[in-house]
Amino acid sequence: MIAVFYAHPYPRRSRANRRLFDAIATLGGVERRSLYDLYPDFSIDIEAEQAALVAADVVVWQHPIYWYTAPALQKLWFEKVLALGWAFGRGGDMLRGKRCLWVATTGAPEDAYDEAGMHQHAFGAFEPVVRQTAQFCGMKWLEPMIVHGAIRLSDDELEAQGQKYRARLIELGATEVQRA
């Protein structure tokens, strides 16, 4: 089972993330959870989220990059759901051995993430925060899927990214659902 935790505050207004999220909708063995739709008041149902994590052997975090990290609700989700004694610390081994895939989009093109660019750092410089969160909980960090320049991508390019995402999840155990 693959659990996809998706954090976009305005999912209906999104272009890139929505296309990605829609692309995996028809896969079998995938549970998609849109956090901003589930918890618009930021009161996260911790038990439900943990149950979804327990049922999964692959954990996917999908979200746009805001201010070099995850959107606020995803960040709150880290704090509340990846709890002491559950995800880390004494007796906190519920995520141990699971695999973690990070799917992130950036508004700016890849070359903005460069020492000479707008953000003055290579994108890789911002990765450790999320990666270490996964690794601290004993999860195996998979090669992330980063979609750069999301606002400027053409529909075709977005379509290709969607297919790539879909193929990635199938590779990780999702199944093609037979259409009737």
Partner 1 sequence: MHSDEPLVQALIYLSAAVVFVPIASKLKLGSVLGYLIAGCVIGPFGLKLVRNVQSILQFSEFGVVFMLFVIGLELEPKRLWSMRRAVFGGGALQMGAVALALAPALMLVGLSWQGALVASLAMALSSTAIAVQTMNERRALDSPTGRTSFAILLFQDIAAIPLIALVPLLSAQQTAGGNRLLSSAKAVGAIVAVIVLGRFVLQPILRTIARTHLREVFTAFALLLVIAIASLMHMVEVSMGLGAFLAGVLLASSEYRHALETDIEPFKGLLMGLFFIAVGMSIDFSLFKQHAALIVALVAGFAALKGAALASIASRLGVDKRERLVFAALLSQGGEFAFVVFGVAQKARLLPGAWDGLLTLTVALSMAATPLLLLAIDALNQRTQSRESRAPDVVDEHSEVIIAGFGRFGQIVGRVLLASGIKATVLDHDPDQIDVMRRFGFRVFYGDATRTDLLESAGAAKAKVIVNAIDDVEANLALVDHVRAHFPQVKVMCRARNVTHYYELKRRGVVVLERELFEGSLVVSRAVLEALGVGPYEARERIDRFRRLNIMLLERLAPHFDDEGKRVAMAKSGRDELEQQIQREISQLDEQHGKGWHED
The residue ranges that bind partner 1 (CB under 8 A) are 8-17, 36-38, 40-41, 64-66, 73, 105-107, 150-151
| Least Cβ distance, residue 26 to partner 1 (angstroms) | 21
Q: How far is the CB of 38 from partner 1 (least distance, A)?
A: 8
Distances in whole angstroms, Cα of residue 80 to Cα of each of 2, 11, 74, 77: 21, 22, 10, 5
> d(Cα 134, Cα 99) in Å, to the nearest integer?
9
For partner 1, the closer CB: 12 or 179? 12
Is 3 strand, coil or helix? Answer: strand
Q: Considering beta carbons, is residue 39 or 88 the nearer one to partner 1?
A: 39
Task: Write down the least CB distance from residue 10 to partner 1, Å.
Answer: 5
In the complex with partner 1, the residue whose CB is nearer, 35 or 169, is 35
Least distance from partner 1 to the Cβ atom of residue 37, Å: 5
Q: Tokens in use for 180?
A: 């009737």
Collapsing DSSP states into helix, strand and coil, what is residue 152?
helix
Please give the backbone phi and psi of residue 2, each rounded to the nearest 5 degrees, phi first. -115, 130
DSSP run (H or E) holding 5: strand 2-6
Q: How far is CA 106 from CA 41, 69, 148, in A?
A: 25, 10, 5
| Cβ pair 70, 103 in contact under 8 A | no
CB of 108 to partner 1, least distance (A): 9
